[in-house]
Amino acid sequence: MKCRNFAPLIQLFFSFFLLFSCAKKITESKGIILGFSQIGSESAWRNCNTRSVQEAAADAGIQILFFNAEQKQENQIKAIRSFIAYQVDVIAFVPIVSDGWEMVLEEAREAEIPVLICDREINIKNENLYAGYLGTNMLREGRSAAEFLLKKFIDPDTGEIVTDGKSVKIVEMRGTEGSSPTNMRAEGFRDVLAGYSGFEIIYSESGDFLRSKGYELMCKILEKPELGNIHVVYSHNDGMTLGAIDAMKERGIKPGEDIVIISIDAEQAAIDALKRGEINCVVECNPKQGPDIMHLAGLLALKETIPRVIFMEERVFTEWDDLSAIAPRGY
Ligand code: AHR
């Protein structure tokens, strides 16, 4: 008997099946209701993140219940509870701080509503209380900041540190206390520097990711003669950096020249300052997470499993790069 090869036919059948089920998923995502709790509008970065989420929801035909928590965890918890009461299909939120989410996430689980953690990470014993995390690799961001410092201050020929003194004196401006970007950017930075002697963090304080606080903090730091010569300012976001630059300029200090400045986010204003030589390195933190959030929300609404962690693509901009080719940032 002649034996026929049905494999191509079977393959064709499955391709049609897959195509059909994908098309069905896209149509189904249109009816989804997503509860989204944003932390506030503390920075240009955050405003871009909000725009990205809202525009992507509109593009995907996803109805979004959007709450701005005005920087308060209790407002986020209230918002999540209202999403549960409303029986949304998916909950997504940006946790302002890492701790304190167990109870409300238990409530979401009891209501069988999948939860996506966005932008900032949480500390939680039972990781099954949320479906996955989408955001940036903040440990990596801190490491990239320190790696720039190594290149800037270590002579490649001798391996010696180049400063006017014995060590490179660093001032750190931290973000919101208890938040994952603050903890991880601090940790990644220290991890890399720990392998080298001669780098000293002489002062570290929170400016809460705010430009106004960055300015105030730098005024305070520059009035501390006991700190001596500051070689580097490492700031956890561009808002604080731009405030600190204002404070330096008012005192006749040349940012980028007298003090090396490393910042995180890559807002347009920081890239412009990098081009003017007032910042030496900007580590990108990508806020345009909306389209990925909507894609994952679509999958979660269909009760599909998503990856535990998805990191956005990011790059590092330095004073040594060709800066003429950077496309407008949009934030
Ligand atoms: O969570 C991301 C951080 O929050 C950004 O670096 C900062 O600008 C924002 O406010």
One pLDDT digit (tens) per residue for the chain, 331 residues = 333 444 444 443 434 343 334 444 444 566 899 999 999 999 999 999 999 999 999 999 999 999 999 999 999 999 999 999 999 999 999 999 999 999 999 999 999 999 999 999 999 999 999 999 999 999 999 999 999 999 999 999 999 998 887 899 999 999 999 999 999 999 999 999 999 999 999 999 999 999 999 999 999 999 999 999 999 999 999 999 999 999 999 999 999 999 999 999 999 999 999 999 999 999 999 999 999 999 999 999 999 999 999 999 999 999 999 999 899 999 9
Do 100 and 145 fall within a single domain? no
Do 255 and 175 fall within a single domain? yes
Strand pairing category for 281-284 and 316-318 = antiparallel
Do 113 and 146 fall within a single domain? no
Confidence (pLDDT) at 165: 79
Do 261 and 294 fall within a single domain? no
* Containing structural domain, residue 304: 7-135+287-313
Helices (H), 251-289: 268-276
Q: Ligand 1 center to residue 288 CA distance, Å?
A: 12
Confidence (pLDDT) at 164: 82
Calpha distance 146→188 (Å, rounded):
8
Q: Name the DSSP class of 233.
A: E
Q: Ligand 1 center to residue 227 CA distance, Å?
A: 28
Confidence (pLDDT) at 69: 98
Confidence (pLDDT) at 166: 84
Q: Is the CB of 121 under 6 A from ligand 1?
A: no
Calpha distance 182→234 (Å, rounded):
12
Confidence (pLDDT) at 30: 67
Q: Is the CB of 189 under 6 A from ligand 1?
A: no
| Exposure string for 78-107, b = 16+ CB within 10 A, e = fewer | ebbeebbeeebbbbbbbbbbbebbeebbeb
Q: Is the CB of 39 under 6 A from ligand 1?
A: no
Do 82 and 101 fall within a single domain? yes
Q: Is the CB of 45 under 6 A from ligand 1?
A: yes
Is 211 among the domain residues? yes
Q: Is the CB of 183 under 6 A from ligand 1?
A: no
Do 88 and 33 fall within a single domain? yes
Helices (H), 61-137: 73-86, 102-110
Is 302 among the domain residues? yes
Residue nearest ligand 1's atom 3 by CA: 181
Is 331 among the domain residues? no
Q: Is the CB of 331 under 6 A from ligand 1?
A: no
Among candidates 166, 177, 43, which has minimal Cα distance to 97? 177
Confidence (pLDDT) at 321: 96
Question: Cα dist. 67→35, 38, 53, 115 in Å?
Answer: 8, 6, 12, 15
Q: How many domains does the chain have?
A: 2
Task: Output the domain CATH number for residue 179.
Answer: 3.40.50.2300
Q: Ligand 1 center to residue 241 CA distance, Å?
A: 12
Do 186 and 291 fall within a single domain? no
Is 309 among the domain residues? yes
Counting beta carbons within 10 angstroms of the beta carbon of residue 42, is it exposed (0 to 12), middle (13 to 18) or buried (19 or more)? buried
Calpha distance 270→265 (Å, rounded):
8
157 backbone dihedrals φ, ψ, rounded to 5°: -80, -45
- Of 267, 285, 303, the residue at which a domain comes to its end is 285
Is 330 among the domain residues? no
Helix (H) or strand (E) holding 15: helix 7-29
Q: Ligand 1 center to residue 330 CA distance, Å?
A: 15
Do 22 and 49 fall within a single domain? yes
Do 95 and 164 fall within a single domain? no
Instruction: Please give the number of the atom of ligand 1 that sits closest to the Cα of 44.
Output: 8
